[in-house]
Every structure is written in structure tokens, then in C-alpha cells.
Copies of this chain bind each other. A is one copy, B any other.
Amino acid sequence: MLGIGDDCAIYRPRGSKEDLLFTTDLFLEDVHFRRSTHGAKDAGRVAMCRSLSDIAAMGGEPRFALVSLSVPGWADDRWVRSFFESLTSAASAAGAVLAGGDLATSEKLACDVTVCGAVPRGSALRRDGARPGHAIYVSGALGGSALGLQTGAGRAWKRHVNPEPRLALGRYLRSKAGASAAMDISDGLSLDLQRLCLASGVAADITDPPVFLGASPEQALHGGEEYELVFTVPAEARIPKHYQGLALTRIGQITDGPAGLIRHNGKTLAARGHDHFQDSCQRM
């Protein structure tokens, strides 16, 4: 039903009332984490949450996960067991079982996590449904993960290594709130909102997003690995200020400007979020 270019691919099994969502995310040593700063538990949790967040962004219920892991020499049995336990318990907490995978050895740790989620047929939240006049919202406060990576300590670091996939919010947006488009903020609001706008063929006008305590406005606009959701709703939709304790903040609206153009407080915003393929070291 849907291939490359959204948070998940969508597959419609023959005769089923459900669509299945699939996402796969790499988690690489010295690209996505460092052994010197990330414990085994942190690493395992983050590896799983990256994919769960993509399922959340489309409003899905996680069903199962496949994990490919290549173990480096420095990781002893205890480290690997702890990594796997943490990864598995993050999956379980989200309702997914570990259904299979592959194992190898290599110099650096490489982990690839595939997660399958499900939504009622035809109901997945996609990136391409935003229309001029729709309001733009974000969940939570942004910039905490980038701040944590910078300081390596305190609440912001905890935020960095304890991402929370917004699964309940995603389901709410899909089934109750009438959201027209959504995605998760994995590479920074500026870049991810631009992707949403490109997929929808629209532009956006935004103000300042809510900022995580201590983070800079720049970190809030461009910092990656937030795993909050950015979503759009028709102008008449009523969105509560909080959902299950999580703030939902209106940051602007979709316009009919050139596709992908983001204006921030009236000025064109350069998408400076993280793009692994262009610069794998930007975040480290």
C-alpha cells in the first residue's frame, strides 16, 4: 500500500481487516551510540524505541519485532544479555514479542530492529495528508535529547537514553483526534516537518516550539532523537492541551506555499536537523 518515504511501509494482508506497518532502524556503535557513554541497558532500550516510535507515528499497535545483532569483541556475555533484556522488555512494554532475528560477530556493534505494527484497514496516519489551513502541533518539549548529548548528565541525559515512543498518543491521534498527518521527530523538527510538508505538497508557518528545560531554541528546532510526534489536524479539530499528561502544543499552520518551505516566525527556516546519510557524526 505504501513504500519508501514514510515512517513505516504499509502492507495489506489478503482478506484482513488490518493493515500491517513495518519499520526498520539501524543502531550502530559510534554512529547512534558510544560504549563509553551508553550502558547496555540504555543501548538496548534506545535500539528498540527507535522503531517503536515509527509505529507510534502512524498510530499503530506494535505486534512483533525482529532483531539482527552483530556482537563486537568488547561486549561480553553479560553486556549482550543486558542489552537484549532491555531491548526485549521495551518491546514487551509496547505489546510486541521478539519473533526472530539474526546473529553475527563484527568489530563494532551493529543492531537492526524491525518492528511490525497494526492499524485497522486504511487508517494509518501518514505524512501526506496535511492540507493548507490545518493546524500543526507537537507533543512534549523539544531539545532535551540534544542537550543531553551535549552535557552527558542530568535530566537531559536521562531524556536522551530514555526515549518514550508515543504509542498511546499516536493511537489517539489516529482513532479519536482526526489527525490528517503525523510523523515522529527523530532527526529534528525542522528537517522532519519539512519531510512531512514535502510528502503532503504543502508549506508551513511555525512559531517557537516548546523548549525542554535548559535546552536552547536551536536545540528545540533542530535537535534529533526526540521521538515526540509532530502532527496536523483540520482547522476545526479540537485538540486538548494535554493527553495523558503529555503537553500538546499548537506551533503553527500548514500553508499553500512551495512544498517543503518552512517559515519560522516569518523567516525561512533552513532544515538543519540530522541526516545520517549526509553526516553520520553530526550528533556525536
Q: Is the CB of B103 within 8 A of A23?
A: no
Partner of A28, one of B11, B67, B100, B110: B110
Q: Is the CB of B105 within 8 A of A108?
A: no
Partner of A106, one of B17, B31, B102: B31
Contacts of A2 in B (CB 8 A): 99
Q: Is the CB of B14 within 8 A of A18?
A: yes
Contacts of A280 in B (CB 8 A): 104-106
With A4-B99, A110-B110, A112-B102 as contacts: A14 and B11 at CB distance below 8 Å: no
A8: CB under 8 A from chain B?
A: yes
A97: CB under 8 A from chain B?
A: yes
What is the chain B residue whose CB lies nearest that of A281? B105
Contacts of A107 in B (CB 8 A): 107-108
A28 to B108, CA, bound (A): 11
Contacts of A14 in B (CB 8 A): 16-18, 118
A214: CB under 8 A from chain B?
A: no
> Interface size (A, Cβ < 8 Å)?
49
Partner of A13, one of B16, B28, B114: B16
A32 to B106, CA, bound (A): 10
Q: Is the CB of A25 within 8 A of B102?
A: yes
A26: CB under 8 A from chain B?
A: yes
* Number of copies of this chain that the complex holds: 2
Contacts of A110 in B (CB 8 A): 26, 28, 70, 106, 110, 112
With A16-B14, A16-B15, A28-B70 as contacts: A3 and B102 at CB distance below 8 Å: no
Q: Is the CB of A31 within 8 A of B112?
A: no
Q: Is the CB of B68 within 8 A of A98?
A: no
A112 to B4, CA, bound (A): 16
Q: Is the CB of B24 within 8 A of A68?
A: yes
Q: Is the CB of B24 within 8 A of A18?
A: no
A15 to B277, CA, bound (A): 40
Query: Can you list 20 A-B pairs, Cβ within 8 angstroms, ordered by A?
Result: A2-B99, A3-B100, A4-B98, A9-B64, A11-B116, A13-B13, A14-B16, A14-B17, A14-B18, A23-B100, A24-B67, A26-B112, A32-B104, A68-B112, A70-B110, A103-B276, A105-B276, A107-B107, A110-B110, A110-B112
Q: Which residues of A contact B (CB under 8 A)?
A: 2-4, 8-9, 11, 13-18, 20, 22-26, 28, 30-32, 63-64, 66-68, 70-71, 97-108, 110, 112, 114, 116, 118, 276-277, 280
